[in-house]
Structure 1
Amino acid sequence: MPPLGTFSVPRRTLAMLNVRMRRIRWFLLTVLVVLIAALAATYHFQRQFRQRHAAEPPPPIPENLSAAAQDWTYTQMDGDRPVVTVSARSFEQSRQEGVIDLTGVELKLYHRDGEAYDRARSARVSFDRSAGLLYSEGEVEVAMGLPVEDKPAGRILMIRSSGVRFDARSGKAETDRAASFELDLGRGEAVGAVYDPAARELILKRAVTLLMNPRRKGAKPMRLETENLIYRERESEVWLNTPCRLTRGGTTLQAASAIVRLREGALEMVEAFKASGADSAPNRKLQYAAAELRLFFDEEGTVRKIEGSNGATLNLTSPTARTAVSSDRMDLEFAPENGESVLKQALAMGNTRAESFPIARPNVPVADTRLLRSEVVEVVMRPGGEEMARMATHAPGAIEFIPNRPGLSRRLLEGERITIEFAAGNRVQSCVALNASTRTWKAQRRKGDPEFASTRSDMLTALFDPKTNQLSRLEQSGGFRYEEGARRALAERAALDAGLNQILLEGNARAWDPTGSTSADRIQLDQRTSDFDAEGNVRSTRIPEKKKPGAGSQAMLLGEETLQATARKMRSANGQSVVHYEGGVTLWQGPNRLRADVVALDRKNETLDARGNVYSHFIDRQKGDGAKRRPPASTTVTAQELSYTGKERLAWYKGEVRLQRAELEIRSRQLRAWFREDSDGGSSLDRAFASGAVEIVHRKPGRVRRGTGEEAEYYI
């Protein structure tokens, strides 16, 4: 038995197995060859495929570079907030200088709030990573205020320049080369610029030109020119720290410095310092200046208001006049007209002075120069802004009319409030004043005439002749007072006719001078001659001139005593040497009295004429001393007419004459009475001569004597 674990195979079986094994060996060898061939073919095919589709191997790095890359990105973070991101299509780092050269660069400078960023693009940039500085020699485009998440809405704010330096740490960008920009406030150009995204501040260094946008799209922009500009986006302000000029159409503004304030990125207000401006049109020119000027603009970009302070001036020029206004402060209001600003009114406050100078024109009389002074003056323009419509004071003021032609009077008007209305051509139409006083200097005065005349009243209205530009009528009311040298007058109302040079006084009127006074309901005074007419409840007082040495007494109401009179009407002429009374006339001088319907006095010729219901009463001078002094005798004469001549000392009565003296009565058609001069300078009746149907009656207690005849003489 064979050992355990072995077995025996028959020979035949072994022979058969050998045959089969030989056949299988050749089969396996064939399969192996096929597999090797397949593998070789697959390898060859894949190798060719890889060779055809494999990327080209990167070029070798130049010896002067330490690194190079494609689609490079650099980000600087502040915590989890990005500060700056720099991306480029290619990246090359210098082996020696450590400077990275970038191409196809985009720089994002993120705002502090993380909601927006400023983007800078350039074709080629050098980046000093250790210093955090980027520099682009070529053109750079900066877009400002792009939202991080949403797409930009509206216009993108752009700055374009070259030679730009970027600080990757602070985000600041700077250039000294020419730059153009399109901002929300406008578009323009400058030489040199600095942009600080952290402060949201753009500085334009030199030669700045900016077209500032108004709030309404499509409206005419404002052109700004200056040497230096700072745009503070966060505060919506533009600071101009060097002399600047703003221009829009015919409007210009120049200033030593200024601040432009924006609303929603558009022009709203300009605050200018040491500034002056002008607005020009074919028929008008407006100029203004102040240490501080504030200009406010409407949606169209036109000026709607200007405020000037610390020494403001305004000059208005039209074809007919030039008006200059100066004050501590001034407000100008404008109205839009055809896309431009037209002055509507001006309000000047504090030490205001407004002076208007006429412009000479052919065949037109030159108007007066007008000078108005007050704390507050308002000027209202006519539509179109070429001429003034009204000028008024809102505080006590004074206006002076200074003639520019010989022979005209200079006038001064002062009042608590003064309003001047203008007609076309800047011609004064009227002037109204409250609590007014006037002073007039006559151009032509006679020797001895007062230098000026003055008036006062509660209300004054002056009217001017449109043809001559001169005062035509002056009306005053409420406590009127007049003064010219020694002459005085008062009334409730007064009116001056400048052409006739006459003053009309009404309502409790009274006029006086050192020689006497007159009161009446109505007095009309001629300023040139001092003649006057009085009417209604006339009362007059006349102080006679002193008698010359050696001259005799003038006796009948023409002596040295004060002469007083009442009447319905009175006329005084020739320096009051000729006086005419009418209507219930009564004159008295001391104890002597005269009544008549009409009385005329001529002091120069020493005559007196009375007509209608003449009544005269005279008292002789007392004679004697002490106990011998006799009581004075009185003489009363009535008649229809009386004529008296002082040179002859003769009184001639006519028509129904009746004389009464003590117990004596004389009636006649005419009577002539002579007066004598007494030793004391007085006068008394000396004798009388009656004619025409004379009748004499002498009455004593218990006896009456009568006598008649054609003539009779009576001696005292």
Structure 2
Amino acid sequence: MKWPEPKWALAVRLMAIALFATVGAAIFLSSRQQPGVLRRRSAETKHAPLSAHVLSVSEHIRHLQVQGGRPLFLLTAARDEVYDDGHHELSDVSVTLYAADASERARITARRAVYYQTSGLVIFATDVRAWTREGLRFRTEELRYDQATEVLHTERPVTFEHASGWGESQGIEVHLPRDRRNRVVLHAVRFAVAPNASGPSELWSVRAAAATFESVTLTFRLAGDVVLAREVDELRADRLDGVLDREHRIRQITAGGNVRLRSRAEHTAVEIASESLTLSFTERQDVSRAIARGSVVARFRDRAEEQELRGPRLDVILASSHGALVPHFARAEGGRVSLMIRDGSRDRRVVERQVEADRLEAFFRTGTRALQRLRASGNVRVEIPPTPSAKTAERTTIWAQEAELMFDGEEDRVTTGRASGDVRVEVEPMEASAARSRRMTMSATLFIEFDPKTHGIARLLQSGKFRYMEGDRRAESERAIYEADSGWIRLRGGAPTVWDARGRTRAEEVDVNPREERSVARGRVVTTVLPREAMARTLPFAERDAPIFIAADRLEVDHRARRARYTGAVRAWQQDTYLAAEELELDEADRTLLARGRVRSFLFRAPRAEGALTEAVPIFVSAARLIYREAERKIVYEGEVSLQRGAQRLLAESLTAFVRPDAAEIERALAERKVVLTDPERRAYAERATYDAAGERIVLEGSPARLEDDRQGVRQQGARLTFLDRGDTVLVEGSEGARRVKTVRTIPRGKQ
């Protein structure tokens, strides 16, 4: 119902409307050129005194402002008081703003409102409610609207809601241009994001110092101590930019500055820290993917195990399980990246295994944070520390171009691993008292088995041109197997060979134990002992500048005790001298040699007679056992000894030969027990025989010593028989000790 209005009042109103439109247009253009005019203008009019002179009062007014045939706004109020300074005071007011297509773009209602006609400013007060076409609804106690800038603004507390959430803030700015590029700015904001697809437990709560929303681009920005949280998930950052879908659900956000993402549940957690972090969301508003950049540190914890990823860039595919984030796949790249795996079970200390590479890819067991597979590429480095329960403390470092580790997700432990491309394994003893040095092995590929109890290395299999280095010790083969429990490295294929400064050994199979400093070779064993080395002096060969060769079926070496044992068809030789037996033991420390079992040797010659034209006569000796002591240059043969020198043969139970230190020639010898000396058609028997190479004299002693000469038909005996002149003269002596000659006979050779 309207009250009668005088004609002069109607004229004044028409003039006011025209003036309002003109001034409004001018202020609009000015505000586009001078940002911030709204705040300045508000400050100017905030405390401006109102005139007490009322020009007119109207009730139940309804005014539709039209321009170019299109509506601009619709004003309704229960009462309108017009004052002589041009402002209006309205009650129970409602203002509807229209877009260029005549659709509603916003509506504001309030118990009271003041409209400054000259500036185009409307101040709504008391139970102010506003609505925008994007579905934003908010309430406050004061709200200002500037027609020129088309901005709604207040610094009072605001509560707001949307189909996708609700919240509160300290102030709001709503930019309502007619081109639909609406923008909302909130301060000290707290709100919850709850799209229709989500249940109460899936709400995201947001807190920030400031928030901005763009309606056309469906983007928003949060700044200042930003916190985004849901149940056990929380994201913190200095700023955050996001994109919404058409249902106003979060599609993607990018956080920057001191970014921290955490998702924690019982005994499990996901944490990511970086300079920036981009998160993608599902329709249910679950985080599906995280891309972190800049000094990234990511931790995935599952029961007793934790993985820590570091690098310039990290891409993680995530899923939600029981309300918490769980990783499905993670890729770190963009430079040098690393993964630290910490194992802290109840019955063990924390054990850390580290993987470094140019690129890391981690695959997790579905629905858990437990690693299932880890793939590394580009200058890979895997470090495996000693485990507390291991027999020896060794730190193992593996280098390769590609590597892969497999995990048992249920047991939270690594099971197997593979590596390829210039594989190098370095093992460093950790004991302070360890005398062993660092060892290194190289190959084309590597397979690793881990111990299910200790989580340490149980077995290594290296294939493709395997090489081993430790100190001056080297080895090579086609492949090798390392057994951590026993410490053995087993070389197979490609004629396994080991060597050091003293010599070289080749065999069909070679086993090396650096921990116990032992080695074993089997099958066609051939050792080359270099001249002038300690082991060369242990062998009874004379040449100091020629190598010595030893062949056998098997070789066992104790490097710590400096002992070697050859078994099975053993044969040692240097040039034309040799020693053969079933077993040969060398003690380098004591410089002794022991040969057993069918010993056969040609180690020395009888010296050539002075002025003789013939070569020195070789001496061949066989026995059951041989002992050589380098310090004494003494060779002892024991058990069924047989010595052959040309046509002359000596049998005894024991023979001790002393050889010259500079030549393979015998100086003297002693035969004992059951001595038999034979040459064609002549035999001598004694209990003891001595040989003097310088005098070419053989002395036989016994009880009695006897001689049988078939050529002369003579049988002679005495306490001592002495063969002179290379055996052509025999001196027979009695037992009185006066050297009384019982028989002296010259036996020319060749006569009957």
TMscore range, shorter length: 0.7 to 0.9
- What is the deviation of 1:91? 2.8
1:351 aligns with 336
Correspondent of 1:216 among 181, 197, 200: 197
- What is the deviation of 1:120? 1.8
2:481 aligns with 495
| 2:241 is the counterpart of 1:259 | yes
| 2:122 is the counterpart of 1:134 | yes
Output the CA distance in 1 between the equivalents of 2:362 and 2:138: 46
| 2:90 is the counterpart of 1:102 | yes
- Counterparts in 2 of 1:542-557, with a 5 A limit? 542-543=529-530, 556-557=540-541
Structure 2, unaligned stretches of length 5 or more? 10-50, 694-752
Cα offsets for 1:515-558 (capped at 9, x unmatched): 2221112112222342211101211122466679xxx9877248
Correspondent of 2:162 among 174, 178, 183: 183
Moved more, 505-514 or 376-385: 376-385
1:473 aligns with 459
Output the CA distance in 2 between the equivalents of 1:122 and 1:291: 45
Distance 1:579 1:56, change over 3 A: closer
Do 2:604 and 2:665's aligned partners in 1 also have CA atoms closer than 8 Å?
A: no
- Counterparts in 2 of 1:35-114, with a 5 A limit? 58=4, 64-94=53-83, 96-114=84-102
- What is the deviation of 1:714? 5.9
Output the CA distance in 2 between the equivalents of 1:93 and 1:184: 39
Output the CA distance in 1 between the equivalents of 2:412 and 2:657: 69
| 2:420 is the counterpart of 1:420 | no
Do 1:333 and 1:344's aligned partners in 2 also have CA atoms closer than 8 Å?
A: yes
Correspondent of 1:145 among 127, 133, 148: 133
1:373 aligns with 356
- Counterparts in 2 of 1:462-611, with a 5 A limit? 462-507=448-493, 508-543=495-530, 556-557=540-541, 560=544, 562-573=547-558, 575=560, 577-611=562-596
- What is the deviation of 1:509? 1.4
Highest CA radius of gyration, 1 or 2?
Answer: 1
Distance 1:572 1:403, change over 3 A: closer
Correspondent of 2:312 among 328, 349, 361: 328
| 2:158 is the counterpart of 1:205 | no
Do 2:114 and 2:123's aligned partners in 1 also have CA atoms closer than 8 Å?
A: yes
- What is the deviation of 1:314? 0.7
Distance 1:558 1:101, change over 3 A: farther
Residue type of the alignment partner of 1:534: A
Correspondent of 2:209 among 227, 241, 249: 227
| 2:144 is the counterpart of 1:165 | yes
Output the CA distance in 1 between the equivalents of 2:592 and 2:112: 121
- What is the deviation of 1:380? 2.9
Aligned alpha-carbon RMSD (Å): 3.4
| 2:231 is the counterpart of 1:249 | yes
- What is the deviation of 1:628? 8.4
1:16 aligns with none
- What is the deviation of 1:245? 0.4
Output the CA distance in 2 between the equivalents of 1:441 and 1:138: 79
Identity %: 22
Distance 1:56 1:122, change over 3 A: closer
Cα offsets for 1:161-192 (capped at 9, x unmatched): 22111123443211111212222442111121
Distance 1:99 1:132, change over 3 A: same
Cα offsets for 1:345-398 (capped at 9, x unmatched): 32111221222344473xx13243222221212233334434333333132211
2:717 aligns with none
Do 1:367 and 1:469's aligned partners in 2 also have CA atoms closer than 8 Å?
A: no
Do 1:622 and 1:629's aligned partners in 2 also have CA atoms closer than 8 Å?
A: no
Output the CA distance in 2 between the equivalents of 1:69 and 1:384: 68
Distance 1:81 1:58, change over 3 A: closer
Distance 1:553 1:244, change over 3 A: closer
Residue type of the alignment partner of 1:524: D
Residue type of the alignment partner of 1:207: A
Do 2:606 and 2:618's aligned partners in 1 also have CA atoms closer than 8 Å?
A: no
Distance 1:321 1:624, change over 3 A: farther
Do 2:542 and 2:663's aligned partners in 1 also have CA atoms closer than 8 Å?
A: no
Distance 1:545 1:319, change over 3 A: farther
Distance 1:584 1:145, change over 3 A: same
2:740 aligns with none
- What is the deviation of 1:128? 2.0
Structure 1, unaligned stretches of length 5 or more? 1-54, 147-155, 698-704
Output the CA distance in 1 between the equivalents of 2:539 and 2:477: 35
TM-score by length of 1: 0.80
Correspondent of 1:708 among 662, 667, 683: 683
- What is the deviation of 1:130? 2.6
Output the CA distance in 2 between the equivalents of 1:574 and 1:91: 111
Distance 1:553 1:273, change over 3 A: closer
Distance 1:547 1:421, change over 3 A: closer
Output the CA distance in 2 between the equivalents of 1:97 and 1:605: 124
1:286 aligns with 270
Moved more, 216-225 or 226-235: 216-225
Do 1:622 and 1:630's aligned partners in 2 also have CA atoms closer than 8 Å?
A: no
- What is the deviation of 1:664? 2.1
